[in-house]
Amino acid sequence: MSEQNLKTSLLGFSLNSPLMGASGTFGYGVEYAHMVELPKLGAVCGKGLTLHGQYGNEGERLWETPSGLMNSIGLQNPGVEHFIQVELPEMEAQLRPAGVAIIANLGGHSEEEYEEGAALLSASSVDMIELNISCPNVKQGGMVYGVKAEAAAQVVRRVRAACTKPLMVKLSPQAEDIPAMCRAVEKAGADAISLTNTFQGCAIDLEKRRPVFNNIFAGLSGPAIRPLALRMVWQAVGAVNIPVVGLGGIATGRDALEFIMAGAQAVQVGAANFVDPRVINRIYDEMADWMQANGVKSLDEIRGCARG
Amino acid sequence: MPAVCCDSVVLDQIALTESVRLLSASWNDPEHLPHAGQFFMLRCWGMGEGPFLSRPISLHYWDPGKKMVEFLYEIKGEGTRRLAQLEAGDAIQLTGPSGNGFDAQAIPQRARLALVGGGIGTAPLYQLARELNARGIRPDGYFGFRDEPFAMESFRGLCGVVRVATDSGRFGFHGLVTEMLEPENYDLILTCGPVPMMRGVYSKCAAAGVRCLVSMENKMACGIGACLGCTCHTKEGPRSVCKNGPVFEGSEVFGE
């Protein structure tokens, strides 16, 4: 095991590493806490919350694709207040002692809901809020705000005003114009940007002669989307001056380093956790090994280096 | 006890029928001992080499002496086809034991029990029958198959009565396993199999006022309660089959 330093600063926090469990794939972190070596885990982005709990979508929720996974969970969650009372204390007990930052992911069905949810989370012990304006699986949900830059800016402005925590805004690849979207949410008060959420896809069940998913479209994640996500992260880094957290199909140390070299401050690991719940350990080790083999002591030396 | 993920080794694999396999692998984690009704996520292919997700397979038999877990499964798609190619000495990734399983220790020793299995759903009932026998409880067994029964010999020494039904009539009773069942003769019925069968078992149990536990199945991504892909409706609200289940009170999932 090499002695490279993967400590990562983000919005005033010194993270154990640049690796975060991505929202929706990592539960509330406690499910993985005994399989991942916590000193290698920078942060956990909890399962997406909405002000009021919701069941999520009926029908198929999962569908495998080549090197990927489509999901249509539909933001099943217990609601913000339940999270603060039940899930957050468990995260505090298991993650906090190991220095893993706790990030609450917040979705919503209206600007008022976002605002109220953010205010509640602001008064809790979470370290940051990741604002989900990009869930493709909720009809009246975040997606509306994920496509149009002006709609996104509007909701970010309102949440910013209601929120005292560092605010990271998670963008959708369905945004009409990624650089314009990034600039709009930066101007509206975002402290950081994370991208991308899942790509909208579709699958047809031949036997039923119907779409697999009740919502017809669902979100594609996994290595299949990685080059697409990396392109958007590259664009985001070029568009704004706030930190960009990259995600989309990261499954190896080399994948993570690609995002870092594109300029990402940190990265999130999503669907790969399903393939191997210990994958973050391996990604960390592979990053450290690459750094050692290439004489790199800190990620700061190579962050954004590919941009020349 | 939460699930863990281990790189394990295949000990043996035998074909019981054209499509049913019995796979054994080592399980050396002394802190995470499996019990009946729990399952593991199995995987023997790299990312991009096969299906994206691992395959949830229930525990058929656990031998603490040999530190061996056995899985009885049916080849249904690409994932199980790959599992079927495994031979002794091959590597296999196991994540588990997952789920609540059946709580054999909580069942009163004088209880009259019936196990009702359908097809590959008989798999977890073998370990359950063993755990019940270890407590001095000898359940009756009712097992339904489409055409060809498998793994029935192992139940005969553990069950009072073993009754087999086939849809085709080739073996045993010609008809549905639920038709043979008389719930009023039992205090508790534990079932695993296709949902229509379990719903039928539950309905007969409910009509007779007999408690019924059902083991549910669903597609899963994580198998440890993180992704919420396998959520089912229950009277108590949404529950993860992988974490809150797979064993539920029949009334919770099938009740009015």
Chain A positions contacting chain B at CB under 8 Å are: 24-27, 31-32, 34-35, 47, 55-56, 60-62, 64-69, 71, 73, 76, 222-223, 251, 271-278
Contact criterion met (CB < 8 Å) for B228 and A272: no
Q: Which residues of chain B, if any, have pLDDT below 70?
A: none
The tens digit of pLDDT for each residue in B191-228 reads 999 999 999 999 999 999 999 999 999 999 999 999 99
Query: Residue B82 carries which DSSP code?
Result: H
> Can you give the pTM of this predicted structure?
0.95
Q: Which residue of B has its CA nearest to A68?
A: B52
User: So what's the pLDDT on residue A138?
Assistant: 61
Cα A290–Cα A291–Cα A293 angle in degrees, nearest 5: 65
Per-residue pLDDT at A1 exceeds 70: no
Q: Which residue of A has its CA nearest to B220?
A: A62
Per-residue pLDDT at A34 exceeds 70: yes
Contacting residues of B for A62, CB less than 8 Å apart: 53, 219-221, 227, 229-230
Q: Which residues are A271's β-sheet partners?
A: none
Please tell me the distance in Å from A222's CA to the nearest CA on chain B.
9
Contact between B141 and B155 under an 8 Å Cβ cutoff? The reply is: yes
User: So what's the pLDDT on residue A135?
Assistant: 66
Q: What's the CATH fold of domain B104-254?
A: Rossmann fold (3.40.50)
Please tell me the distance in Å from A184's CA to the nearest CA on chain B.
31
B47 shares contact with chain A (CB less than 8 Å): yes
User: So what's the pLDDT on residue A136?
Assistant: 62
User: So what's the pLDDT on residue A5?
Assistant: 86
Q: Which residue of A has its CA nearest to B239?
A: A55
Residue B227, exposed/middle/buried by CB under 10 A (0-12, 13-18, 19+)? buried
- Residue in A76, A272, A277 nearest the CB of B238: A76
* DSSP letters spanning B235-248: TTEEEETTTT-SEE
Domain ranges of chain B: 4-98, 104-254
Domain ranges of chain A: 8-56+73-198+222-307
Per-residue pLDDT at A237 exceeds 80: yes
Contact between A244 and A196 under an 8 Å Cβ cutoff? The reply is: no
Per-residue pLDDT at A3 exceeds 80: no
Contact criterion met (CB < 8 Å) for B4 and A35: yes
Please tell me the distance in Å from A237's CA to the nearest CA on chain B.
29
Please tell me the distance in Å from A47's CA to the nearest CA on chain B.
8
Cα-Cα-Cα-Cα dihedral sign, residues B170, B174, B179, B181: negative
Decide if domain B4-98 falls under CATH 1.10.10.10: no
Contacting residues of B for A47, CB less than 8 Å apart: 226, 228
Rounded Cα distance, A109 and A116, in Å: 11
Question: What are φ and ψ of residue A80, in 5° steps?
Answer: -60, -45
Give the number of C-alpha atoms closer than 13 A to the C-alpha of residue A53, restricted to the C-beta side.
10
- Residue in B3, B47, B222 nearest the CB of A251: B47
Residues in chain B: 256
DSSP E strands, B99-139: 113-118
B222 shares contact with chain A (CB less than 8 Å): yes
The tokens describing A106, both together, are 């917040």
Rounded Cα distance, A8 and A16, in Å: 7
User: So what's the pLDDT on residue B48?
Assistant: 87
Cα-Cα-Cα-Cα dihedral sign, residues A27, A106, A98, A2: positive
Contact between A258 and A227 under an 8 Å Cβ cutoff? The reply is: no
Per-residue pLDDT at A296 exceeds 80: yes
Q: Which residue of A has its CA nearest to B2?
A: A31
In chain B, pLDDT over 90 holds for what percent of residues? 96
The tokens describing A273, both together, are 């956790």
The tokens describing B119, both together, are 């097809």
Contact between B131 and B103 under an 8 Å Cβ cutoff? The reply is: no
Per-residue pLDDT at A140 exceeds 60: no
Q: Which of residues 14-43 of B touch A (CB under 8 A)?
A: 43
Q: Are B4-98 and B104-254 equal in CATH topology?
A: no
A25-44: buried (b, 16+ CB within 10 Å) or exposed (e) per residue?
Answer: bbbbbbbbbbbbebebbbbb
B98 shares contact with chain A (CB less than 8 Å): no
pLDDT confidence tier of residue A4, bands split at 50, 70 and 90 = confident
Spelled out in words, what is the top-level CATH class assigned to the domain A8-56+73-198+222-307?
Answer: alpha beta
Active site residue A135: yes
Question: What are φ and ψ of residue B6, in 5° steps?
Answer: -130, 145
Please tell me the distance in Å from B53's CA to the nearest CA on chain A.
6
H or E segment at B201? helix B195-208
Query: Residue A5 carries which DSSP code?
Result: B
